[in-house]
Amino acid sequence: MEKTVYLLEDDESICELVRCTLEMNGVGCETFGSVKEFSEALAKRQPALCLLDVMLPDGNGFDVLKGVKEEYGVPCIILSALGKETDKVKGLNLGADDYISKPFGVLELTARVDAALRRSVRPAVLRVGSLEMNAESMTATYRGKELILNNKEFRLLRYFAQNEGKVLTREALLTDVWGYDGGETRTLDNHIARLRKLGLDFETVFGVGYKFIAD
């Protein structure tokens, strides 16, 4: 199976239902009954998609969602018995790619998972000028030299590369890379400074944001 989904759910019967349903449709599924187990697995290898319950024995799925989106940018679907409109709005505002209320039908689950996986498909290797980035191996080279980047630096540079030549506002960068809107921008400026030290060219557009220029 080419794609793997991580399911964070403490109900064993639901875990078995989801796992069997996805595997019958050619999608691998690994299940975790606690936030601790899920977080440890996520740090080692990121899946194509996460399915997250909200009410968990050692945490809250909304908090997990926020962390997953900020640290890894992995697509997430909330799978919860909390089906009120306010719950759905909260999940979507925190970055969920979809929200499925329990109880759910297996056909609906399969369709929504397939749709999320289709939306998340991107070329593994991105080449812009002398910059080459591989999303699968999380490696990057510039002018033939390997760049040593942490997770956030890699995501920021890839976002710039995907929008090469465009002026990106601070608000857009904080929202799409860090997962929050507004607030302190010093973290963004520090990351830009770090990338500049590696020889990458970023133009500052005063009062707006930055533009990445490839060569």
- Tens digits of residue pLDDT in 94-135: 889 999 999 999 999 999 999 998 887 666 788 899 999 988
The helix/strand count (H/E) of the chain reads as 8, 14
Query: Is the CB of residue 152 less than 8 Å from the CB of residue 191?
Result: yes
Of the two residues 1 and 173, the one the predictor is more confident about is: 173
What's the token pair of residue 203? 């133009």
Question: What was the pLDDT predicted at 69?
Answer: 87
Spatial distance between the Cα atoms of 147 and 135, rounded to a whole number of angstroms: 14
Q: Which long-range contacts (CB under 8 A, 24 or more apart) does 17-22 make?
A: 17/106, 18/51, 18/79, 18/109, 21/106, 21/109, 21/110, 22/110, 22/113
Question: What was the pLDDT predicted at 131?
Answer: 94
User: What is the average pLDDT score of the chain?
Assistant: 90
pTM exceeds 0.75, yes or no: no
Q: How remote is the C-alpha of 180 from its chain's centroid?
A: 13
pLDDT in tens, 27-77: 999 999 999 999 999 888 889 999 999 999 999 999 999 989 888 888 999
The DSSP H or E segment spanning 203 is strand 201-205
Any idea where the domains of the chain sit in the sequence? Answer: 4-120, 125-213
Q: How remote is the C-alpha of 60 from its chain's centroid?
A: 18
4-120: which CATH topology? Rossmann fold (3.40.50)
Q: Which CATH class is domain 125-213?
A: mainly alpha
What are residue 6's DSSP bridge partners? 30, 50
